[in-house]
Amino acid sequence: MDHEFKQDENSAAVGSDHTDTSVQSNGSRLVSITEAAKINNVTRQAIYVAIKQNKLKATKHTTRWTIDLNDLERYRREKYSRTKSIYNGELLFDNKKGFYSINQVAQMLGVPAQKIYYATRVGLLKASRKGAAWVIHVDDLNSYKENYLSKQAEDSKVG
């Protein structure tokens, strides 16, 4: 099968191989699924799923999907993000109010997320469940740092 990229007289190709950006006569810029995945830093499968769920507008030309860059940008702005999650009408991880996710706390402390999950499970770190997510308040985080992490550091110095 011939894999050579062909363009019609209404578009001009920019780039190389099958991840080309095409500029249409109406000024819209189109990208392939592969290029859309690279731009969004996700897999091609994630782009296919977004198209199938009608979350991302795309057009199929015989066997190739094309996505307008304006539609891709709209999808990026509107797509689900855990940091934008709402629970009972309030932002779930509202950092301005001192609420953080397990992963955010782990990153702040420089430890693996599993260590934070363990600390919550055994009662060393207070966390509350909101829907399917664990939420940790900054006061509880500071208490954990003072009462557990600082003692752990002292114990390692003594031993």
User: Tokens 């296919």 identify what position?
Assistant: 48
Region 88-101: mean pLDDT is: 80
Please, which pLDDT band fits residue 48 given cuts at 50, 70 and 90?
very high
Q: State how far the Cα of 118 lies from the Cα of 134, in Å rounded to an integer.
A: 12
CB 59 within 8 A of CB 25: no
pLDDT of residue 81: 59
pLDDT category, 44, cuts 50, 70, 90? very high
pLDDT band of residue 11 (cuts 50, 70, 90) is: very low
| Residue whose C-alpha is closest to residue 65's, from 76, 73, 53, 57 | 57
Contact 58, 45 (CB under 8 A): no
pLDDT in tens, 114-149: 999 999 999 999 999 887 788 999 999 999 988 887
Q: Which domains does the chain have, with CATH numbers?
A: 11-78 (1.10.1660), 82-158 (1.10.1660.10)
Other Cβ atoms closer than 10 A to 57? 14
Q: CA 109 to CA 48: how far, in whole Å? A: 36
- The rounded radius of gyration (Å) of the Cα atoms in the chain is 24
Question: For residue 32, which phi and psi values (nearest 5 degrees)?
Answer: -80, 175
pLDDT at 133: 82
Mean pLDDT of the chain: 78
